Structure 1
Amino acid sequence: MLFLARMDVTFPESMSDEVKAEFTTLEKEYSGNLQREGKMQDIWRVVGEYANYSVYDVSDNDELHRILSGFPMYPYMKIKVTPLAKHPNAIK
């Protein structure tokens, strides 16, 4: 099953730059593993925002929830998920 997820990150103003940098390192490792496993098919930055769009290929809603809630920044994320279906006009 394919899903599109938009993730917006908002850190508390009181969070130090060092802690933010640590989260960034952990996120890169986690998302890299998901991409290598084929669970995260694509990831795109939203220009001018601390946000991204990602495409996930997972077996069901529960697997997607486990993946999303496993992100180190999850407590600071607002996530919107959209299920995807093949468009009849798609040529690939």
Structure 2
Amino acid sequence: MAEFLVTIDWSPLYTLPNDIRDEVVQKERDTGLALIEAKTIKNIWELPGEKRNVGIWSADDARGLLNVLEALPIFPYVHMEVQALAAHPLITEDYSFISGRSVGVSTAG
């Protein structure tokens, strides 16, 4: 599975009439909870003072994530930014990018 940083600017929702916005938000809440349960949304944060959130989303590939995002009830009304993520060498311990050789922590005593 690939991981993606997804930023959603939901401020455009405030241009909708209240009754439509309330309906869209309720549908989005239900969809979001299902995506958390399915582990598609691995984590999500609000950005205090902003009408945006950021989350770590998981999908087979970029096309799979796009399919999920396009199915969101809020999709027609928001702005989204998606960035693919790759594991950092601190996690993978793969430092082969340094001088073309592997550099790691020695476990020999």
TM-score using structure 2 length? 0.76
Aligned alpha-carbon RMSD (Å): 1.5
Moved over 2 A (4+): none
User: Any gaps of 5 or more consecutive residues in structure 1?
Assistant: none
Amino acid at match of 1:85: A
Q: Does 1:74 align with 2:62?
A: no
Q: Percent identity?
A: 24
Deviation at 1:45, TM superposition (A): 0.8
Please say if 1:44 is aligned against 2:45.
Answer: yes
Greater relative contact order structure (CA < 8 Å, 6+ sep): 1
Measured after TM superposition, the shift of residue 12 of structure 1 is: 6.0
Corresponding residue for residue 31 of structure 1: 32
Q: Which residue matches 1:65? A: 66
Deviation per residue, 1:30-54 (Å, 9 max, x gap): 1111110011101111111211101
Larger Rg: 2
In the alignment, what sits opposite 1:11?
Answer: 13
**Structure 2: 5+ residue stretches without partners:** 93-109
- After TM superposition, give the deviation of residue 56 of structure 1 in Å: 0.8
Aligned length: 90
**Contact kept? 2:14, 2:21, Cα under 8 Å:** no
